[in-house]
């Protein structure tokens, strides 16, 4: 059975408090169009905690995209902001939550987290 990049992405990020600032709170619903239907994912961000679920609830922000576009985002092949400029992604509600989602998405293949790069640079200088 093939791996699902979207499920893998959500499994990887859930419960990782270091990924979000403590001041961010809200629910982001991600609506993915697939085969004439809709899949829903919910990211609940609260005081640095991140919970992922499929359980329906009210959301402070909604992101709508095709499953194919969002899959490219979670694989680091597509940029959220660029897709929004092309209207391949529609966002309604709190843009603060979208900014946090952007931080959770991987960058392009071969890119480095600037925090990790800074740590590795400092380590080399000390040696």
pLDDT, one tens digit per residue, over 20-52 is 777 889 999 999 999 999 999 999 998 888 899
pLDDT score, position 22: 79
**To which residue do tokens 């966002």 refer?**
91
- Per the structure, the complete domain to which residue 87 belongs is given by 5-126
Q: Is the pLDDT of residue 2 over 80?
A: no
Alpha helices in the chain (DSSP H): 5-13, 67-74, 80-85, 95-104, 114-126
Q: Give me the number of domains the chain comprises.
A: 1
CATH number at residue 17: 3.30.1050.10
pLDDT at residue number 123: 56
Q: pLDDT by residue (tens digit) across 67-121? A: 999 999 999 999 999 999 999 999 999 989 999 999 899 887 655 556 666 676 6
């Amino acid at each position: 059975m093939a791996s699902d990049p979207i499920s893998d992405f959500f499994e990887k990020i859930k419960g990782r408090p270091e990924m979000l600032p403590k001041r961010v709170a809200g629910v982001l619903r991600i609506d993915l169009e697939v085969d004439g239907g809709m899949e829903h994912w919910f990211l609940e961000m609260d005081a640095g905690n991140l919970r992922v679920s499929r359980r329906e609830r009210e959301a402070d922000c909604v992101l709508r995209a095709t499953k194919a576009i969002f899959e490219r985002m979670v694989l680091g092949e597509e940029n959220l902001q660029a897709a929004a400029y092309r209207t391949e992604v529609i966002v309604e509600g709190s843009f603060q939550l979208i900014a946090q989602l952007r931080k959770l998405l991987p960058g392009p293949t071969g890119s480095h987290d600037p925090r990790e790069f800074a740590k590795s640079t400092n380590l080399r200088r000390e040696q």
